[in-house]
């Protein structure tokens, strides 16, 4: 049986959610709770949810049923984006005891203490999202090699398909001073790599207070943040999780190109290669700007990895417009794709649009782009065969096969030993194996620990 005060966590969704779950987990640990596996018995289960796709409700119900099989008497708490959007519906799921919104989740221990007052208070505590104006910092902890560090939250963009502004509120940021302080703590723990996360991190610098109806002038820009972080010697690697193409300006690209700490790796959401669809999506750029950004990155860093988000089956997307996206991506010098099948989200403008694309057709288009992504990744990997690059090794199996990533995000497999975990080693990239990993061998001349 689990200990008298045990808690288990499960996270759905993005890196930002993982950073917040880890921070909430530390709150429980500081109060004496024992953290146990979500797939076993526990006194409390905490599910951090996502709202990006239409599977949120299904995933939530599944996780509740699965967890309570281990302990039907356990208390089940749901937090996260889906909790903010659909608190009443979630509270009615059999087995759910508490639902907490965007701000309330960081005071979860206080709410758990009032769990016996549900008869009078109700099962959910969710404030109005337009009243959320504070920033709660967070970072993941426990993984020896990598940490996700939250630097920004919320979004002021009004993309027609997206529920994130409804779930997380307006754009707001941490201070550079506090981000640097957290990064130093992470680095001093032995973590080698930090991934900067947020909803729209290129918009870093927004204040949290509104004066006379006007947002205050940004006190800092994203480029100021990364310049400050680059001075931290305790952290050897930084990555930018995702940045909007209109915010990924030349100053940021130049800085990364000349930085030793920031890795040559950009992930920029495109969503569509058709300007007509981009306009319907209410994106803040055209395909021409996106292509300019890719060319600029590759001109300054030919070895840079560039990942792309794209949505297929948006309302009104014709076959010609999809093929326009396909050909645009095929011609771009990019490294991989994250392909999303459009799903209708309540309370979004896109959900009211006509000319819905049939589900079967959405899936066909998704498959075409996933195949293209596979080809792009193989071509990117093959361009480094025979070269030497530095790899941060993150895991090892029983056969001594280690895996890790190069600076430019090539996933590498290499024979070694556990002493090499969480070290950066120079390897020779030999070939791509059947699993599409880059096989490698440690450089005979460069095996020094870093």
Residue 416 near residue 396 (C-beta atoms within 8 A): yes
Strand 305-312's sheet: what is its strand order? 265-271, 305-312, 336-341
Report how far Cα 351 is from the mean position of its chain's Cα atoms.
24
Instruction: Supply the DSSP string of 226-256, one letter for each residue.
Output: HHHHTT-TT--EEEE----TTTS-HHHHHHH
In sequence order, the 6+-apart residues with CB closer than 8 A to the CB of 82 are: 49, 50, 51, 56, 57, 60, 90, 167
Q: Is 273 exposed, middle or buried (0-12, 13-18, 19+ CB in 10 A)?
A: buried
Distance separating alpha carbons of residues 22 and 157, to the nearest angstrom: 27
Backbone φ and ψ for 99, nearest 5 degrees, come out as -125, 125
Distance separating alpha carbons of residues 195 and 191, to the nearest angstrom: 11
The domain locations on the chain are: 6-127, 133-263, 265-383, 388-442
Residue 336 near residue 376 (C-beta atoms within 8 A): yes
**Residue 20, CA distances (Å) to 49, 123, 149, 222, 363 in order:** 11, 22, 9, 21, 32
Distance separating alpha carbons of residues 29 and 115, to the nearest angstrom: 19
In sequence order, the 6+-apart residues with CB closer than 8 A to the CB of 251 are: 223
409-444, pLDDT tens digit by residue? 999 999 989 999 999 999 999 988 876 777 777 764
Taking alpha carbons only, the member of 86, 85, 67 closest to residue 76 is 67
10 Å Cβ neighbour count for 403?
A: 16
Here the contacts of 251-254 (C-beta below 8 Å, separation 24 or greater) are 251/223, 252/202, 252/222, 252/223, 252/226, 253/293, 253/296, 253/297, 253/300, 254/300
Report how far Cα 398 is from the mean position of its chain's Cα atoms.
29
Torsional sign, CA 167, 246, 374, 319: positive
Q: Is 414 exposed, middle or buried (0-12, 13-18, 19+ CB in 10 A)?
A: buried
Strand partners, 428: 388, 441
Q: What is the mean pLDDT of the chain?
A: 89
Looking at 1.10.10, 2.60.40, 2.40.50, 3.30.70, the CATH number of the domain 388-442 comes to 2.40.50
10 Å Cβ neighbour count for 409?
A: 19
Looking at 3.40.50.2300, 3.30.465.10, 3.30.360.10, 3.30.750.200, the CATH number of the domain 265-383 comes to 3.30.750.200
Residue 38 near residue 8 (C-beta atoms within 8 A): yes
pLDDT given at position 120: 44
In this model, does residue 116 exceed pLDDT 90?
no
197-239, pLDDT tens digit by residue? 999 999 998 654 444 444 455 668 999 999 999 999 999 999 9
**How would residue 450 be classed by pLDDT, with cut points 50, 70 and 90?**
very low
- What's the number of CA atoms in the CB half-sphere (13 Å) around residue 42? 24
CATH superfamily of 6-127: Response regulator (3.40.50.2300)
pLDDT given at position 3: 47
pLDDT given at position 216: 52
pLDDT given at position 211: 41
Whether 265-383 and 133-263 are alike in CATH topology: the answer is: yes
Residue with tokens 């999780």: 241
Report how far Cα 195 is from the mean position of its chain's Cα atoms.
9
382-406, pLDDT tens digit by residue? 999 999 999 999 999 988 999 999 9
Report how far Cα 380 is from the mean position of its chain's Cα atoms.
22
CATH number of 133-263: 3.30.750.210
> Among residues of the chain, what percentage have pLDDT more than 90?
69
Q: What is the CA radius of gyration of the chain?
A: 23
Cα angle, residue 430 at apex, residues 429 and 435 outer, rounded to 5°? 95
Q: Which of 27-31, 125-129, 171-175, 276-280 has the highest mean pLDDT?
A: 276-280
Residue 117 near residue 124 (C-beta atoms within 8 A): no
């Amino acid at each position: 049986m689990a200990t008298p005060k045990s808690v288990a966590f499960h996270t759905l969704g993005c890196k930002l959610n993982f950073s917040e779950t880890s921070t909430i987990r530390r709150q429980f640990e500081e109060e004496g709770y024992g953290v146990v596996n979500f797939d076993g018995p526990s006194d409390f289960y905490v599910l951090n949810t996502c709202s990006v796709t239409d599977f949120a409700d299904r995933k939530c119900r599944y996780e509740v049923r699965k967890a309570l099989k281990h302990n039907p008497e356990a208390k089940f708490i749901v937090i996260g984006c889906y909790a903010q959007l659909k608190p009443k519906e979630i509270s009615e799921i059999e087995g759910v005891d508490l639902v907490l919104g965007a701000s309330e989740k960081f005071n979860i221990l206080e709410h758990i203490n009032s769990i016996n007052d549900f008869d009078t208070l109700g099962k959910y505590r969710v404030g109005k999202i337009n009243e959320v104006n504070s920033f709660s910092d967070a970072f993941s902890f426990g993984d020896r090699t990598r940490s996700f560090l939250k630097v920004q939250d919320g979004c002021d963009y009004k993309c027609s398909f997206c529920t994130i502004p409804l779930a997380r509120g307006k754009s707001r940021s941490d201070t550079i001073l506090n981000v640097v302080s957290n990064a130093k703590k992470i680095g001093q723990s032995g973590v080698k790599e930090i991934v900067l996360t947020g909803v729209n991190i290129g918009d870093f610098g927004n204040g949290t207070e509104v004066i006379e109806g006007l947002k205050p002038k940004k006190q800092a820009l994203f480029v100021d943040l990364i310049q400050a972080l680059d001075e931290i010697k305790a952290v050897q690697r930084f990555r930018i999780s995702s940045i909007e193409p209109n915010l990924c300006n030349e100053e940021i690209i130049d800085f990364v190109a000349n930085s030793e700490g920031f890795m040559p790796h950009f992930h920029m959401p495109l969503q569509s290669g058709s300007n007509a669809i981009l306009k319907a999506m209410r994106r803040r750029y055209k395909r021409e700007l996106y292509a300019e950004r890719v060319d600029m990155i590759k001109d300054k860093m030919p070895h840079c990895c560039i990942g792309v988000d794209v949505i297929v089956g948006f309302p009104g997307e014709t076959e010609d417009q999809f093929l326009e996206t396909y050909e645009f991506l095929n011609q771009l010098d990019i490294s991989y794709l994250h392909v999303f099948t459009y799903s209708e989200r309540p309370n979004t403008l896109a959900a009211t649009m006509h000319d819905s694309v049939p589900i079967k057709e959405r899936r066909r288009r998704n498959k075409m782009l996933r195949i293209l992504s596979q080809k792009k990744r193989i071509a990117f990997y093959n361009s480094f065969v025979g070269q030497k690059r530095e790899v941060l090794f993150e895991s090892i199996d029983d056969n001594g096969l280690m895996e890790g990533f190069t600076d430019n995000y090539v996933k590498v497999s290499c024979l070694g030993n556990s002493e090499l975990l969480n070290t950066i080693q120079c390897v020779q990239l030999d070939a791509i194996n059947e699993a599409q990993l880059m096989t490698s061998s440690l450089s005979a001349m460069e095996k020094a620990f870093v």
